[in-house]
Structure 1
Amino acid sequence: MITITAVIRAKSGHETTMRDALMAVAENVAANEPDTIGFFISQSEEDPCVFTTYERFADKAAMDRHNSSAVVATFFGIAKPILDGEVTLVTSREVSATMR
């Protein structure tokens, strides 16, 4: 399993736009990406400008399909002007997962 963790900071006042753009990606994943095993979005309770995604892919090919999809391109088109700094991305091979 390949994972991506992303930390995204929106400019103040743009939290709803960022959340909506991330939710559009999540909806597309659910409808169209069977090899994207999970797409989780979190918004910081302490700083609502900070979002974290945790994305789980069956393999590198699934990750590449997701990252090169039109919905991800649309997301970055929306997100780039409202980003507050660089997006932190960590791509990893999952070692363990506990789901309930």
Structure 2
Amino acid sequence: MITITAVIRARKGYEQTMAQALLEVAEHVRANEPDTIGFHISQDAQDPCLFATYERFVDRAAMDLHNNSDVVARFFGIAKPILDGEVILITANEISAKA
């Protein structure tokens, strides 16, 4: 299993815009990416500008399909102008999970 963890900070005042853009990606994943096993979005309880995603893929092909999709390109088109800093991405091989 391949995973991506992303830490994303929106500029103050753009929290809802970022949340909506992430939810649109999640909806696309649910409807169109059977080999994306999980796509989780969190918004920090203390800092609403801070988001994290945790994404699980059956293999590299599934991850590449997701990362190269039109919906991810649209997300970054929306997100880039409202980011507060760089997106932190961690791509990893999952070594344990509770299913």
Q: What TM-score do the two structures reach when normalised by structure 1?
A: 0.98
Q: Deviations over 1:67-90 (max 9, x none)?
A: 000000000000000000000000
In 1, Cα distance between the equivalents of 2:38 and 2:68?
17
Q: Deviations over 1:15-48 (max 9, x none)?
A: 0000000000000000000000000000000100
Q: CA deviation at 1:50?
A: 0.2
Instruction: Confirm whether residue 51 of structure 1 aligns to residue 90 of structure 2.
Output: no
Gaps of 5+ in 1: none
In 1, Cα distance between the equivalents of 2:98 and 2:47?
27
The match for 1:90 is 90
The match for 1:25 is 25
Gaps of 5+ in 2: none
Query: 3-state SS of the aligned residue for 2:37?
Result: strand
Structure 2 counterpart of 1:79, one-letter code? A
The alignment covers a number of residue pairs equal to 99
Q: CA deviation at 1:12?
A: 0.1
Query: 3-state SS of the aligned residue for 2:45?
Result: coil
Structure 1 counterpart of 2:94, one-letter code? E
In 2, Cα distance between the equivalents of 1:23 and 1:51?
12
Q: CA RMSD in A?
A: 0.4
In 1, Cα distance between the equivalents of 2:45 and 2:38?
22
Identity, % of aligned pairs?
Answer: 71
